[in-house]
Structure 1
Amino acid sequence: MDNKIRKIEEVNQFILDLPKNIQTITVALREIILNSSPELKEEFKWSMPNYSYNGLVCYIQTAKKHVNLGFFKGNVLQEKDVHKLLQGTAKAMRHIKIKKMEEIKPEAFTSLIQQAVRLNED
């Protein structure tokens, strides 16, 4: 399915309002997420882009100086996180903090997103 069709207007608008450096990272993460699984559905809730398939999978959370790629079942994913990218101590959620474009690792991120999607298939 074409990613353009899957992108929703609320997220387009949200991205347009971000500072340039944060916008660039967010756009890149959005592409990685949508490319990693045709099943993922883009939504805008809790004032940020969320991606779901049989329930919540991941989200993009922006801040002034960084962007978090977050996982709702990050505690389970952590066991599969070979690159040790996931951070956080919440009960279930974990995130990867990205401060600049060079920190984006498409293959590693795609792998984690695909594993997160599979967690929702059980």
Structure 2
Amino acid sequence: MPTIDPRIDDYIANSAEFAQPILRHLRQVVHETCPDVEETIKWSMPFFLYQGMLCNMASFKAHCAFGFWKGELLVAQEDDKGREAMGQFGRIASLKDLPSKKTMAAYVKKAMALNTEGVQAPARAKPNAARELVVPDYFLAALEDKAGAREHFEAFSPSAKREYVDWLLDAKTEPTRLRRLEQAVEWIAEGKQRNWKYQNC
């Protein structure tokens, strides 16, 4: 019997209409490929576990996202896709934006093998060149889900916004980025800048 978390049923039901078939499809592929997978909710998003973190999915206003916990070892990814959405597949607005079911199943199998073998996710290289400030959609969506967070963020100076965005983008692993996202939203909702602890020292 598959391990189903009813909170994920609710998450899908409460997602935008376009997102529901995408989320159901991704969930089905994971369960069919990994019958022993377990479901849970972390950082307000559906996660799939198999001998550790396996993958996760999320829905936003205009797109979905899907990523493997050790995706850097599984999916060849262009830099812009990693910045435009969480995970390794960029902005997923329809099923056509995903690889074939067979390809996705192959990724799941590889992710399972990595967990079974105890392979650690590699650290992400920090970009050298300065870049234009672009706030990722997943960050904006997370801010909108927390009362007052988006308003506080918009009131910050450009440099204060950049500190938070760079902190997220410079995370070396997906787990680190998700933890930072949760912390950032909490601080911003309280009107705190990234380095608020040191501002009054």
Which category of TM-score, normalised to the shorter sequence, fits these structures?
0.7 to 0.9
Instruction: Name structure 1 gaps, 5 residues minimum.
Output: none
**Residues 12 and 107 of structure 1: CA distance in aligned 2, closer, same or farther (over 3 Å):** same
Query: In the TM superposition, what whole-angstrom CA distance separates every residue of 1:44-92 from its partner, at most 9, and x where no partner exists?
Result: 11111101111101001211111111111011113xx5xx699427xxx
Q: Provide the secondary structure at the position in 2 that maps to 1:119.
A: helix
Between Structure 1 and Structure 2, the one with more strand by share is 1
- Does residue 1:113 correspond to 2:108, yes or no? yes
Contact 1:73 1:94 in 2 (8 A): no
Contact 2:67 2:87 in 1 (8 A): yes
- Does residue 1:100 correspond to 2:91, yes or no? no
Runs of 4+ in 1 over 3 A off after TM superposition: 84-87
In structure 2, the residue matched to 1:48 is: 45
Query: In the TM superposition, what whole-angstrom CA distance separates every residue of 1:91-113 from its partner, at most 9, and x where no partner exists?
Result: xx842132112233211111101
Q: Give the share of equivalent positions with the same residue, in percent.
A: 26
- TM normalised by structure 1 equals 0.81
Between Structure 1 and Structure 2, the one with more helix by share is 2
Using the alignment, how far apart are the partners of 1:45 and 1:10 within structure 2? 11
In structure 1, the residue matched to 2:121 is: none
- TM normalised by structure 2 equals 0.51
In structure 2, the residue matched to 1:74 is: 71
In structure 2, the residue matched to 1:13 is: 10
Task: Count how many residue pairs are aligned between Structure 1 and Structure 2.
Answer: 112
Q: Provide the secondary structure at the position in 2 that maps to 1:18.
A: coil
Contact 2:65 2:87 in 1 (8 A): no
Structure with greater Cα Rg: 2
Instruction: Name structure 2 gaps, 5 residues minimum.
Output: 118-201
